[in-house]
Amino acid sequence: MSQTSYAANMTAARKGQQGDCGWNDIHSKVAEGGAMTFGLICEAGTACDQVKPVAALPAADTDSIATALASAATAQTFELTDLDGVIGDGPIPLAQRLAFVWNNHADWIAGWLKVVGEGPGGVHQVELVPVPVGGNTTTYSASVFKRVDRMYLDAMGGVNGTLDVGTDPTECILDPEQYPGVVLYEVGREPYAAATEVAQYTPVSILKRGRVWMQVEAAVTKGDPVFVRMLAAGADLRGQVRGTPAANFFIYHNARFVTTQSAADGLALVEFGG
């Protein structure tokens, strides 16, 4: 009897398995630190040819970009050595919102701090941050940044205002440059123990662009964005995914579910870079 219908996707799969033979971008890397598990998001390693399991969220650091920037009666530009925190004008390990700590002084008058940098996906990003009159508060950027290049501050009431600029992981986006993709299941690989499917220092294939089957923590619907677990809890590992926001999950830039899965811990097809 001839076949009269065809499934759009395979009806059986395992986590970490490629979803199709279409256009994919797969990189060969080395597992830098710790054992890695098929079907999980990974993090960029120390060297460009390395990847590692997703690390815990960094702590908030209120002066990681700049310390004690002083107000002035004329407009100012802050860049290069002015950005003297531990991150400064370097790459922020996880694209996250910025924190602005304003001291308590009347020299903070109405005006703007313009922040110029890089957002997820390498997009040039500019945000205008209102200066709180009188200071004495901490404010936050509306956008997340993966790098701060420079800041411009309007003329203020005098030189007694001080400002720390730091990072706060309360709001984050996982950028593909920092979190390059998913550990692919390879049928020809000699198996390790279940918890060490890819042993440290061994080669591993990472799907950066394309479709891959992933185990979901909760039911997902086709078209949902991809949120990644950043806090291990019991048997749940960092790098697992779901389709709706939840505590300790952050969205992965430019990824979506392309199949519906009604069961928690079931498999769904995820498209990266589509």
Domain boundaries, the chain: 25-54+188-272, 61-174
Q: How far apart are CA 89 and CA 99, in angstroms?
A: 15
Helix (H, G, I), strand (E, B) or coil at 58: coil
Say which residue, 198 or 144, is predicted with more confidence: 144
Q: For the residues 14-27, what does the mean pLDDT come to?
A: 87
pLDDT value at residue 43: 95
How sure is the predictor about 238, in pLDDT bands with cuts at 50, 70 and 90?
very high
Q: For the residues 127-143, what does the mean pLDDT come to?
A: 98
Matching residue, tokens 């501050």? 153
**Domain 61-174 grouped into CATH 1.20.120:** no
Cβ–Cβ < 8 Å for 107, 158: yes
Determine how β-strand 181-183 pairs with β-strand 203-215. Answer: antiparallel
Q: How far apart are CA 223 and CA 271, in angstroms?
A: 10
Check if 25-54+188-272 and 61-174 are the same fold: no
Q: How far apart are CA 36 and CA 50, in angstroms?
A: 12
pLDDT value at residue 1: 45
Q: How far apart are CA 181 and CA 206, in angstroms?
A: 6
For the record, the structure tokens of 137 come out as 């508060």
- 152-209 pLDDT per residue, tens: 999 999 999 999 999 999 999 999 999 999 999 987 666 566 566 888 888 999 999 9
Q: How far apart are CA 62 and CA 102, in angstroms?
A: 11
pLDDT value at residue 23: 84
- 197-214 pLDDT per residue, tens: 888 888 999 999 999 999
pLDDT value at residue 129: 98
pLDDT at residue 93 above 70?
yes
For the chain, first and last CA: distance in Å? Answer: 37
How sure is the predictor about 4, in pLDDT bands with cuts at 50, 70 and 90?
low
pTM of the model: 0.87
- The residues near 193 (Cβ < 8 Å, ≥ 6 apart) are none
Q: Which of 72, 129, 132 is nearest to 104 (CA)?
A: 132
CATH class held by domain 25-54+188-272:
mainly beta
Give me the chain's average pLDDT, please: 92
Cα angle for residues 181, 196, 268 (degrees, 5° grid):
45
For the record, the structure tokens of 140 come out as 């936050």
E strands, 146-224, in order: 147-153, 162-174, 181-183, 203-215
pLDDT value at residue 3: 52
